[in-house]
């Protein structure tokens, strides 16, 4: 159920709005300031749009556009004016918000980061995109893991960004850490439309989790983002789906209590549980091992594809970026606590 898009909010519901924001062009600090104000204005529009809304979600690249520009002058920091403006917008409108920034990184390329800010102006979740969309994106690979936070009305939220959602491990990790709603923000363009839809649905079904997914929308004169926000139920069905109309806000009521009920009571297709309890009809508690070679090899640092030597695109030179010379430094901050 979606409660008519959240118009009829239940006591256990979380009403979310996904903003199919018009794709901007941001080249200067003045452009950045103007786009920041536009997002602030859209937070206010979301509140006026629906008094029951708990959380408004902006797409990846909503602040910077799709230029992939790493100019330090338009990069952001957590204590910078852009994030401060987002905090104040959430406070002024008494609403939670999910925002995208390109974050300055003194040690290398900028991070593609996402923030969830509560209605008191506090950052509740801070995430750096783990899987930049190579070879197109220049962003530093994230080093904060996949955090989960307490959200509105007792919900548990995770955020993954765009290409992250093409890796089944991302939604599974978020769910394993307690997420009941996995937000996926994106800047995708039309060629990814089919993959976008099926992965949003599969991520939901395979993990008994709601997915709330939204792209940038419209054209910047070069790129055409597709919008097409969508909420997926934990059985994989699409609950609400947006169009390709820029600045449309699509809304839905999600019920985390029903996720908890399904995870506790489903036998058939309780996949997130059965992954580690396979065949429990035949053997007590199921087989609790790791039969997956790729998991074993990745953990041991020896992940190699059978066709590895034939892979032709292994850096960003095809998209105009110089080949990197430094290696990944690994995690630089302690992981956030797992939400119980």
Q: Is 82 a catalytic residue?
A: no
Q: Of the residues 76, 149, 162, 217, which is catalytic?
A: 162
Pairing mode, if any, of strands 238-241 and 217-219? Answer: unpaired
How far apart CA 96 and CA 206 sit, in angstroms, is: 27
Q: How far apart are the first and last CA of the chain?
A: 26
Q: Of the residues 9, 129, 156, 177, which is catalytic?
A: 129
How far apart CA 127 and CA 104 sit, in angstroms, is: 14
Q: With beta carbons less than 8 A apart as the criterion, state whether 128 and 333 touch.
A: no
How far apart CA 94 and CA 86 sit, in angstroms, is: 12
For the four alpha carbons of 47, 51, 53 and 55, in that order, the dihedral sign comes to: positive
Q: Left (φ > 0), alpha (ψ -120 to 50) or beta: where does 76 sit?
A: beta
Q: Is 129 a catalytic residue?
A: yes
Q: Is 60 a catalytic residue?
A: yes
Measuring CA to CA, how many Å separate 325 from each of 30, 139, 322? 33, 15, 9
| Residue in 110, 120, 179 with CA at minimum distance from that of residue 148 | 179
Q: Of the residues 60, 137, 173, 228, which is catalytic?
A: 60
Beta carbons within 8 Å of 197's beta carbon, 6+ residues apart: 228, 230, 238
- Residues forming the active site: 60, 129, 162
């Amino acid at each position: 159920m979606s409660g008519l898009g959240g118009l009829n909010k239940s006591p256990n519901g979380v009403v979310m709005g996904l903003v199919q924001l018009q794709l901007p062009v941001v080249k200067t600090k003045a452009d950045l300031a103007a786009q920041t104000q536009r997002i602030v204005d859209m937070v206010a529009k979301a509140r006026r749009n629906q008094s029951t809304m708990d959380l408004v979600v902006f797409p990846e690249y909503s602040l910077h556009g799709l230029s992939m520009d790493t100019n330090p002058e338009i990069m952001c920091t957590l204590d910078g004016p852009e994030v401060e403006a987002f905090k104040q917008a959430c406070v002024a409108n008494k609403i939670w918000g999910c925002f995208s920034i390109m974050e300055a990184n003194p040690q290398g390329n900028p991070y593609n980061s996402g923030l969830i800010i509560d209605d008191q102006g506090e950052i509740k979740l801070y995430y750096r995109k783990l899987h930049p969309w190579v070879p197109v994106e220049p962003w530093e690979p994230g080093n904060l893991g996949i955090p989960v936070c307490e959200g509105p009305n007792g919900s548990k939220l995770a955020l993954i960004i765009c290409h992250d959602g093409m890796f089944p491990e991302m939604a599974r990790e978020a769910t394993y850490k307690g997420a009941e709603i996995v937000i996926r923000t994106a800047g995708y363009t039309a060629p990814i439309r089919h993959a976008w839809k099926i992965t949003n649905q599969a991520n939901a079904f395979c993990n008994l989790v709601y997915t709330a997914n939204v792209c940038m929308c419209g054209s910047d004169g070069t790129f055409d983002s597709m919008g097409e926000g969508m909420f997926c139920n934990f059985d994989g069905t699409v609950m609400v789906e947006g169009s390709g109309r820029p600045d449309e806000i699509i809304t839905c009521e999600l019920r985390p209590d029903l996720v908890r009920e399904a995870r506790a009571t489903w036998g058939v297709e309780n996949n997130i549980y059965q992954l580690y309890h396979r065949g429990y009809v035949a053997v007590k508690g199921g087989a609790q091992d790791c039969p997956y070679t790729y998991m074993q090899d990745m953990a041991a640092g020896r992940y190699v594809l059978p066709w590895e030597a034939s892979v032709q695109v292994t850096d960003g030179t095809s998209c105009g970026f110089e080949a990197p010379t430094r290696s990944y430094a690994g995690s630089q901050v302690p992981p956030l606590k797992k939400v119980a």
